[in-house]
Chains A and B, each alone.
Chain A
Amino acid sequence: EVQLMESGGGLVQPGGSLRLSCTASGFTFSSYPMIWVRQAPGKGLDWVSYITSGSSTIYYADSVKGRFTISRDNAKNFLDLQMNSLRADDTAIYYCARVKWFGESPPLDYWGQGTLVTVSS
């Protein structure tokens, strides 16, 4: 059974840092691109970052570029998101999701349960 489990969320002050992790199981993690999506309280889905299976290609949303860093460890089945210079508008539930294939318009076919990040003083 495919499972994705996020961890690392919590309360952080503006300007602070936080590292999120996503632990994958039930599939060959190293074969799939992965993505982070966030959802502010009561709001819609907002893409954050994308990474290919071998980490050769990485994309970021403009809103997090230069502040967030996505990475993965295929040997340990981990996907990470290092978040620096956090702002109040980064407050959201952060989901990791599997990208079904590398290529044209893949769906996000499995999602974790999400981890809540709250940026507040």
Chain B
Amino acid sequence: SNELTQPPSVSVSPGQTASITCSGDKLGNKYVAWYQQRPGQSPVVVIYQDIKRPSGIPERFSGSNSGNTATLIINGAQAMDEADYYCQLWDSSTVLFGGGTKLTVL
């Protein structure tokens, strides 16, 4: 099925590692991007093609993708990382977004 499933929420303590998953059928055979959306702001790409980090994105953001699950990892989460995160992929002539995960840093 052409759906991407994310947990609605993830919590992490400051300085700890946050993992946000995105599940879909044979997701590992496709490239996944991740977007961060802070409250009231437009989305920003933080990872693309599974593991690539755009210039200006902190090194604490990384990604992986295998099997049916892609994962966004934030090492040493900071208060500024509190946001909604969306996975996304291109599937032939469509663009799919996951439902989004609210990351709380507390």
- Residue positions of A touching B, CB distance < 8 A: 35, 37, 44-47, 50, 59, 61, 95, 97, 100, 104-109, 111-114
Contact = CB atoms under 8 A, between A and B. Distances in A.
B14 interface: no
Contacts of A50: 95
A104 B31 CA distance: 8
28 contacts: A37-B95, A44-B84, A44-B86, A44-B97, A44-B98, A44-B99, A45-B37, A45-B43, A45-B88, A45-B97, A45-B100, A47-B94, A47-B97, A59-B94, A61-B94, A95-B43, A104-B31, A105-B33, A107-B45, A107-B49, A107-B54, A108-B35, A108-B43, A108-B45, A108-B88, A109-B45, A109-B54, A113-B42
Interface residues of B, number: 25
Majority SS of interface residues in chain A? strand
Question: Chain B at the A interface: mostly helix, strand, loop or mixed?
Answer: strand
B1 interface: no
Interface of B: 30-31, 33, 35, 37, 42-45, 48-49, 54, 84, 86, 88-90, 93-100
Contacts of A47: 94-97
Contacts of A35: 95
Nearest to A112: B42
Contact of B89 (A37, A44, A61, A105): A105
A45 B48 CA distance: 17
Contacts of B88: 45, 108
A105 B30 contact: yes
